[in-house]
Structure 1
Amino acid sequence: MINSLFSQFTPDTLIFLPLQILASFIAILWLIILYPTNFFSGHITYIWNQIRLEALKLIFQNVKNKSAPWISSLSAIFFLILSINLLGLFPYTFSITSHVSFTYSIAIPLWLSVNILGFYLAFNSRLSHLVPQGTPPFLIPFMVWIETLSLFAQPLALGLRLAANLTAGHLLLFLFSSAAWVLSNNLILSSITIVILILIFILEIGVACIQAYVFTSLINFYLDQNI
């Protein structure tokens, strides 16, 4: 009776090694890949550097000269979100980017700093964006309200997009993995479920990369609009 009561606290193991230790090792290994040393060099470091350079070229291909000093900060944000998204796909790990408390803590300060900088550098130009050119006079009050609402909706959509996409993907992985376990007695149905699960997992890897790219690209776009 005692064993069945406390068995839920017993960690799952793989070859007598707790999976939590394996998950921690993967996180440490990821840091070694991000910050290569002389001990960790060779083809893997070369491949990682090529991926990093190509990703930065893709994100900042249309960057303006005035926003160039922000490239290093935006690159750090990109690789931070990318690392968290990918690490969240490993077993016994948790992706904090699936919670709006984390995504909004990044999105709102970045959006606010970009807009404060824009109003500080070009106050009249930023106000003129609230009224598109050629707007009839009787529509100006409505356009000001609409543009203001759309401005304040930017950080909300920015943080919610990242959290919602990752949450939906993790929910699908959980449902199909649970279904594969429940249907393990039926070889045909479990095989089909496992194949679908693998395809969804591959899709989630792409979603993790794309969402980090979209988040950083939108911040870069807002920056280009303001300076």
Structure 2
Amino acid sequence: MTLSFFDQFMSPTLFGIPLMTIALTLPWVLYFNTGSRWLNNRVSSLQALFINWFTKQIFLPLSLGGHKWAMLLTSLMLFLISLNMLGLLPYTFTPTTQLSLNMAFAVPLWLATVIIGMRNKPTYALAHLLPEGTPTALIPMLIIIETISLLMRPFALGVRLTANLTAGHLLIQLISTAAFVLFPIMPTIAVLTSILLLLLTLLEIAVAMIQAYVFVMLLSLYLQENT
């Protein structure tokens, strides 16, 4: 049986049982719960500092109505970062390389922002479909274009996250395979390839964190338009 490079993106199973549920619930075990003590340990303090900094950066430009989403979006970003980072470990599976999972995150949250805008500020929400000062002859075409761009937002969220993580994982596997094959033939080239692999792994760690941040940041921008 010939293995494909894309086999790493298949959902793992054990005795025919999908392990996707375990992969999705594992990140929450890694986080510390804040207790009732005045002084916590260093890891818990750093965790709280990071969460406070991120919440401030995301919700500072939002109105007070959008601050209700603080717990949801902060939890989502921590969840996505954990899944992306855990997927870089050997013999692990990255659930966020699955487009279906990313769309399951993107579509309901995007739809919620649209519904909030239509309920609270319907005139302002519909005004986004037609820029001010548009010539009369271009009104139907611009409405269609803006409606399509609005409907494409959740697909852009899901595809961006999936494509970036999938491309990084494929590059890591290709370069690691090349280093393994070249080692008995050309050791010097294999060492240089291994150095490139290390640099690419560091880049992929940054991509894993940045893509989770971008995913939540774009959702906050959509929320800002509708609150």
TM-score (norm 1): 0.82
How far apart, in 1, do the equivalents of 2:225 and 2:83 lie? 28
8 Å Cα contact 2:51-2:74 kept in structure 1: no
Deviation of the 1:31 alpha carbon: 4.1
Structure-2 residue corresponding to 1:16: none
Number of aligned residue pairs: give it.
199
The residue type paired with residue 144 of structure 1 is I
Structure-2 residue corresponding to 1:20: none
How far apart, in 2, do the equivalents of 1:202 and 1:145 lie? 43
Cα distance change of structure 1 residues 138 and 37 upon mapping to structure 2, 3 Å threshold: closer
The residue type paired with residue 69 of structure 2 is W
Gaps of 5+ in 1: 1-23
Structure-1 residue corresponding to 2:197: 197
The residue type paired with residue 94 of structure 1 is F
What is the Cα-based RMSD across aligned positions, in Å? 1.9
Structure-2 residue corresponding to 1:151: 150
Deviation of the 1:123 alpha carbon: 1.7
4+ residue runs of structure 1 moved beyond 6 angstroms?
A: none
The residue type paired with residue 34 of structure 1 is Y
How far apart, in 2, do the equivalents of 1:58 and 1:197 lie? 33
How far apart, in 2, do the equivalents of 1:182 and 1:97 lie? 29
1:1-227 correspondence to structure 2 within 5 Å = 31-36=28-33, 42-185=41-184, 186-227=186-227
The residue type paired with residue 199 of structure 1 is L
Corresponding residue SS for 1:66: helix
The residue type paired with residue 148 of structure 2 is L
Asked which structure has the greater CA Rg, the reply is: 1
8 Å Cα contact 1:33-1:45 kept in structure 2: no
Deviation of the 1:126 alpha carbon: 1.5
> Which range moved further: 47-56 or 140-149?
47-56
Percent identity between the aligned chains?
Answer: 39
Gaps of 5+ in 2: 1-21
Deviation of the 1:176 alpha carbon: 1.0
